[in-house]
Structure 1
């Protein structure tokens, strides 16, 4: 999606915080741990983000895209099945 125009100006008064909610920090930590453990490689993670449907990509936040990519990778690699939460 890089190079797209029409999303407005960058806010010069942004507080510069890396995380705007606790769950974003957890997604960051999860991604770092999965990379460190060799569950997937960084290029696979980037590819999973790039494979998101354009409408999903444009409607979700930065770390929501990360989470969607992590879920996809864990599902494709057989680590977790989609919908595992709350089962069992």
Structure 2
């Protein structure tokens, strides 16, 4: 079953634009999400493949509306909640 992020081999998305001076993070919160994910993986809370799968399981409309690090934050919240480390808000 193909997921919304699985676009390999598909056409019609237009040219790929690469910005030469693109910063790693556009906002401080993105760097924090990156660091948080790194710490959670390093401490065995979840594995990187679980994290990737969680990002890829996002509902298509949510996935397409979210930025790169918003998808990361979604996956972190979902995984730590599933493990009982974060209660439902």
For Structure 1 versus Structure 2, the TM-score category normalised by the shorter chain is 0.7 to 0.9
| Per-residue Cα deviation, 1:15-68 (whole angstroms, up to 9, x for no partner) | 221111110000000000000110000111011101100000000000000000
In structure 2, the gaps of 5 or more residues are none
Change in 2 beyond 3 A, CA 1:22/1:68: same
Normalised by the length of structure 1, the TM-score is: 0.84
Q: Number of matched residues?
A: 83
Q: How does 1:1-88 map to 2 (within 5 A)?
A: 1-3=5-7, 5-83=11-89
The DSSP-based 3-state class of the residue aligned with 2:86 is: coil
Higher relative contact order (Cα pairs below 8 Å, separated by 6+ residues): 2
Normalised by the length of structure 2, the TM-score is: 0.83
In structure 1, the gaps of 5 or more residues are 84-88
